């Protein structure tokens, strides 16, 4: 049988753009064994970096104009090529790539699926009320037509779906939880040696690791304030903040750490990738993500897959799975909540309990967050919406183990 050919459309595939780019890489790669060949169209310019792990063709249709990503070249490309695919999956909304994809799907009749990746979360409405007014207008004029064209709106977990219902989604829209996850990390018998080779001053230290984009919604200010409350009585603990961020935000956080007298115990690494990133996750005693809003939290799952317990807020949408598994601690996204979590960890968690939690973290990953199940479910959903009556274009048996 012929494989499905699916086009994934995203604003940017730049790894520095955050979780949506990584989500596209994971889905393209892991839908392939189930009979689905994926390609990606982005509004990136010709020199924008793309993950070397992506197992599919990339069509860079930019550079697009501004943060919105206006691109007439993308519209022309969609008009010419959308009909070559069995389905189009839009990743992320509120930017021009979703309009271009809807235009191509409308002209060609290609089935369209929309993956908001948390961008309908009401946190944005509460936090940025002026932007929300603009979004309401944009929804009425443009974005709702993307959703009305969609065969299904896709979500990573039940919590994301429930949060997304208001104020935008029409209850008649077909909503599907397809799940999400990551591939198992590469083997590393050294247990994180590559990280200590890059940062030798951290050998023998207890490491609290933040690894994500440095952005206001991630709660980095809460993390520094909370760590300042315990750092004095735990001189062997280091807070490692790893991730990309704009200079102004990083500078402000560094000044905050210095003002609280903990600058010497906070290590700023910038963005980590490849072997050093995975080594950092394994070397950490605990992974901390005090976000005010987090749709899925790929970095959280990467920590679990590395057998590292986590401290997260109940604003990370997979918090229920983490709590139920005993793979970490769930706190409120307040200074009191994050502070209590950091203090409890540093003051009370000994080697035996941490070792036990490492095992539960790895079990949680294997039970809840392996990518194969989500990839298989998405392929089946797409095939069911594209095949002729009585015909499936893809095979749903699990791929043979290598």
∠ Cα 182 339 215 (to 5°): 50
For residues 321 and 245, membership in a common domain is answered with: yes
Is 188 a domain residue?
A: no
For residues 303 and 329, membership in a common domain is answered with: yes
For residues 135 and 22, membership in a common domain is answered with: yes
Is 66 a domain residue?
A: yes
DSSP assignment letter at 400: P
> Does pLDDT of 391 surpass 70?
no
Q: What is the pLDDT of residues 115-131, one digit of tens each?
A: 999 999 998 888 889 99
**How far is C-alpha 192 from the chain's CA centre?**
23
For residues 223 and 101, membership in a common domain is answered with: no
Is 392 a domain residue?
A: no
Q: What is the pLDDT of residue 51?
A: 85
Nearest to 346, CA basis, from 299, 311, 305, 297:
311
For residues 278 and 378, membership in a common domain is answered with: no
Q: In terms of C-beta density within 10 A (0-12 exposed, 13-18 middle, 19 or more buried), how is residue 281 classed?
A: buried
* Structure tokens given for 220: 């980095």
Q: What is the pLDDT of residues 197-234, one digit of tens each?
A: 999 999 999 999 999 999 999 999 999 999 999 999 99
Q: What is the pLDDT of residue 134?
A: 93
Residue 19 pLDDT class (50, 70, 90 cuts): confident
Q: What is the pLDDT of residue 191?
A: 74
Q: What is the pLDDT of residue 2?
A: 82
> Does pLDDT of 333 surpass 70?
yes
Is 399 a domain residue?
A: no
Nearest to 304, CA basis, from 361, 370, 363:
361
Question: Are residues 173 and 147 in contact, defined by beta-carbon separation less than 8 angstroms?
Answer: yes
Instruction: Give the Cα separation of 297 and 156 in Å (integer).
Output: 10
The larger pLDDT score, comparing residue 191 to residue 188, is at 188
Instruction: Give the Cα separation of 71 and 76 in Å (integer).
Output: 9
Report the interhelical angle of 247-259 vs 220-230 (nearest 10°): 20
Q: Give residue 71's domain range.
A: 4-183+370-386
Three-state secondary-structure class, residue 24:
helix
Q: What is the pLDDT of residues 160-183, one digit of tens each?
A: 999 998 778 877 889 999 999 999
List the CATH number of the domain containing 71. Answer: 3.40.50.2000
Is 378 a domain residue?
A: yes
Residue with tokens 């990136």: 44
For residues 25 and 170, membership in a common domain is answered with: yes
Q: What is the pLDDT of residue 172?
A: 81
Instruction: Give the Cα separation of 238 and 11 in Å (integer).
Output: 36
Residue 396 pLDDT class (50, 70, 90 cuts): very low
Whole-structure pTM value = 0.85
Q: What is the pLDDT of residue 1?
A: 65
- C-alpha dihedral sign at 292, 296, 299, 302: positive
Say if strands 286-289 and 266-270 run parallel, antiparallel, or are unpaired: unpaired
Question: Are residues 184 and 214 in contact, defined by beta-carbon separation less than 8 angstroms?
Answer: no
Which are the contacts of 243, defined by CB distance < 8 A and separation ≥ 6?
A: 210, 211, 212, 213, 214, 270, 271, 272
Q: What is the pLDDT of residue 392?
A: 39
Rounded to the nearest integer, the mean pLDDT of the chain is 92
Q: What is the pLDDT of residue 393?
A: 44
For residues 256 and 342, membership in a common domain is answered with: yes
Q: What is the pLDDT of residues 232-280, one digit of tens each?
A: 999 999 999 999 999 999 999 999 999 999 999 999 999 999 999 999 9
Reported in sequence order, the residue ranges of 156-204 that DSSP labels E, i.e. its strands, are 175-177
Measured in degrees and rounded to the nearest 5, phi and psi for residue 187 equal: -65, 145
Is 401 a domain residue?
A: no
Determine the average pLDDT of the residues in 54-67: 94
Nearest to 174, CA basis, from 191, 153, 204, 156:
153
Instruction: Give the Cα separation of 128 and 215 in Å (integer).
Output: 14
For residues 175 and 221, membership in a common domain is answered with: no
């Amino acid at each position: 049988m012929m494989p499905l050919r699916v086009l994934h459309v995203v604003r940017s595939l730049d790894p520095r753009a955050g979780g949506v780019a990584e989500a596209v890489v994971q889905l393209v790669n892991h839908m392939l064994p189930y009979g689905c060949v994926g390609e990606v169209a982005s509004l990136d310019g010709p020199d924008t970096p793309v993950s070397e792990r992506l197992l599919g063709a990339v069509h860079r249709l930019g550079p697009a104009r501004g943060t919105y990503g206006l691109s007439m070249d993308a519209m022309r490309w969609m008009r010419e090529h959308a009909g070559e695919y069995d389905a189009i999956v839009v990743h992320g909304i509120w930017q021009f790539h979703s309009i271009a994809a809807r235009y191509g799907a409308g002209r060609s009749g290609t089935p369209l699926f929309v993956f908001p990746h948390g961008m309908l979360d009401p946190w944005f409405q509460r936090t940025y009320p002026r932007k929300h007014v603009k979004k309401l207008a944009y929804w009425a004029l443009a974005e709702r037509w993307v959703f009305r064209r969609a065969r299904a709106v896709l979500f990573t977990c039940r919590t994301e779906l429930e949060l997304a219902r208001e104020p935008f989604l029409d209850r008649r829209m077909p909503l599907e939880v397809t799940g999400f996850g990551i591939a198992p990390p590469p083997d590393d018998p050294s247990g994180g040696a590559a990280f200590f080779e890059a940062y030798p001053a951290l050998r023998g230290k207890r490491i609290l690791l933040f690894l994500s984009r440095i952005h206001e919604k991630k709660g980095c200010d809460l993390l520094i304030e909370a760590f300042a409350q315990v750092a004095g009585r735990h001189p062997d603990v280091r807070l490692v903040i790893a991730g990309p961020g704009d200079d102004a935000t990083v500078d402000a956080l560094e000044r905050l750490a210095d003002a609280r007298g903990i600058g010497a115990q906070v290590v700023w690494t910038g963005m980590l990738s490849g072997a050093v990133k995975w080594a950092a996750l394994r070397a950490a005693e605990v992974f901390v993500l005090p976000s005010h809003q987090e749709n899925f939290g790929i970095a959280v799952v990467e920590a679990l897959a590395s057998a590292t317990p986590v401290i997260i807020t109940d604003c990370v949408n997979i918090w229920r799975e983490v709590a139920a598994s005993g793979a970490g601690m769930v706190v409120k996204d307040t200074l009191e909540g994050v502070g209590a979590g950091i203090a409890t960890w540093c003051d009370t968690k000994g080697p035996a309990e941490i070792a036990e939690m490492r095992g539960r973290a790895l079990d949680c990953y294997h039970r809840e967050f392996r990518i194969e199940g989500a990839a298989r479910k998405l392929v089946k959903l797409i095939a069911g919406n594209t095949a002729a009556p009585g015909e499936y274009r893809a095979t749903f048996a699990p791929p043979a183990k290598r």
